[in-house]
Amino acid sequence: MGWMADESGLNKCTANYVPLTPLSHIQRAASVFAEHTAVVYGSHRTTYREYHARVSKLASSLTKLGVMPGDVVATLIPNITAQIEASFGVPACGAVLNTINTRLDADTIAYIFDHGGAKIAMVDTQFLPEVEAALNRMDGTPPRVIEIADTEAGFKATGKYPEYEDFIKNGDPNYSWVMPDDEWESLALNYTSGTTGRPKGVVYHHRGAYLMTMGTPISWRMTLNPVFMAIVPLFHCNGWNHTWMMPLLGGTVVGCRDISAKVIYDGIADEGVSHFGGAPIVLNLIVNADESDRRSFEHTVEVFTAGAPPAPATLAGIGKLGFNVTQVYGLTETYGHVVECLWNSAWDDFEEDARSAIKARQGIAMPMMDMTTVVDQRGVQIPMDGSTQGEIVMRGNSVMKGYYKNPSATEKAFSGGYFHSEDIAIQHPNGMMQIADRMKDIIISGGENISSIEVEGAIMAHPAVSLCAVVAKPDDKWGEVPCAFVELLPDHTSSEGEIISFVRGSLASFKTPKRVLFQDLPKTSTGKIQKFELRVIAKDA
């Protein structure tokens, strides 16, 4: 028998066990960092003492409206004060936070309201027309609307609904928060993009979000009092959980309604922004910014990028401007990023192209995860040879509870004891994963698999190219061939023949695009290119 064989009397109690929740961070910060700046948006600035009081007033006001623990409160708000405060205020009354993509159509919003059962909807004035249309299309009971008037951006209240500042005015700043009795309790409900069929509702628990906030600072090399600009939409994986993380470090959240190179550079120069996350399109904005929008700064800005693998050329460009980019990877189902390109100092002396190529890899599991790896169709670990392809699978506390009201999809996603990402990757000998493609994006030409990401990387190295996307085009002879869609930089020109010839210089001929079309690329609100739209165009190209 082991030396701890007799554990009688060694039980959980209130003294030695408290359910993990990110709500605890701001309760601590209200005391520890009471007078430190917590939130900045335009002229709005609050200390942690004031931030906690406003969050408490929001929770209290929701309770007065009849919101009960377990009820759903939806939001359609940009990354401004009210959305930042809702991150804590909604769960502080025991409710489940449902942040909704502000660019969705009325029909999809109506579906999410119905499916999630939202009792309250907090809505920015700009998005009221779509929400009102959605309310009229609902099958169930519509949620009550609280309007968010962003006067900083010129959006005045319509007067048709209670306005946010008036709504929380009479709330109790000393409201007693409803903390979870069980860390498995639901914290947030996030809907997938739904590009094929209806979006699925991904449910987060308190434990997973707490561990995200504890693991991320390690990977991001954070110390106390970072200044974080909220560029990743807070409706997307709850902003990768970064707003929940900031009070842990006494950090400042800088709101950002509309993303531009000028807004980013101003935030760095004027507010001292030290960290932000964003898709590769955000990196492109910075690299290609007009001289008039650029500002000088002395510190290194740490950037997490995800959503699609950035081109090595983009990483090389932004690295010269004072930004250190870390490639991360994750999905809505994993609370955001759970894989990082952990840098090895031995790579510092590599040539620039080699360093950028490594930085474009997705990497290894972040500290809050148990395991991430790549398996074959039988669920067996693939060879880590840098060429064999398989599916990325994950296991850990920062994986969703499951899909809301969809047990069959949940069972499929968790088959074999892992979450299945449906992303195709290779693994290098050091275990680092590198995405080859989404399952649906792999191009099979004459029996050969072509990674659209590899072709995109080759095209992005062209000096005239700003963005590109490669999809499969049906072909009578080969089955499928690569078709490239290209956005050029301002005042730059190119041609189909020039792009094809350029790519042929670095890739095998069967991987080179057979058609190149020049146009603006359709994008989601998080900067992801909507390839499903391009596939339709490619069929007839």
Q: Say if residues 218 and 208 touch (Cβ distance below 8 Å).
A: no
Beta bridge partners of 303: 276, 325
Query: What architecture (CATH level 2) is domain 443-539?
Result: 2-Layer Sandwich (3.30)
| DSSP states along 363-395 | BEE-TTEEEEEEE-TTSPBPP-SSS--EEEEEE
Query: What span, in angstroms and rounded, lies between the C-alpha atoms of 365 and 328?
Result: 10
Tokens of 447: 């029996």
Write down the pLDDT at residue 195: 46
As a whole number of Å, the CA-based R_g of the chain is 24
Write down the pLDDT at residue 314: 84
Q: How far apart are the first and last CA of the chain?
A: 72
Other Cβ atoms within 10 Å of 29 Cβ, number: 23
Q: What is the 3-state secondary structure (H, E, C) of 485-498?
A: EEEECCCCCCCHHH
Long-range pairs of 154-157 with CB within 8 A, sequence gap ≥ 24: 155/124, 155/125, 155/126, 156/125, 157/125
Tokens of 413: 């996603």
Beta bridge partners of 74: 98, 121
Q: Which residues of 155-171 are buried (b: 16+ CB within 10 A; e: fewer)?
A: bebeeebebbeebbeeb
Tokens of 191: 């809907």
Tens digits of per-residue pLDDT, 231-266? 999 999 999 999 999 999 999 999 999 999 999 999
Fold of 259-439: Rossmann fold (3.40.50)
Q: Where are the domains of the chain?
A: 40-206, 259-439, 443-539
**Which portions of the chain are predicted below pLDDT 70?**
1-4, 193-197, 309, 447-448, 525-526
Q: How far are the Cα atoms of 6, 220, 410 from residue 215, in angstroms, in the given order? A: 34, 9, 25
Beta bridge partners of 330: 337
What is the domain class of 40-206 according to CATH? alpha beta
Q: Do the domains spanning 40-206 and 259-439 agree at the CATH topology level? A: yes
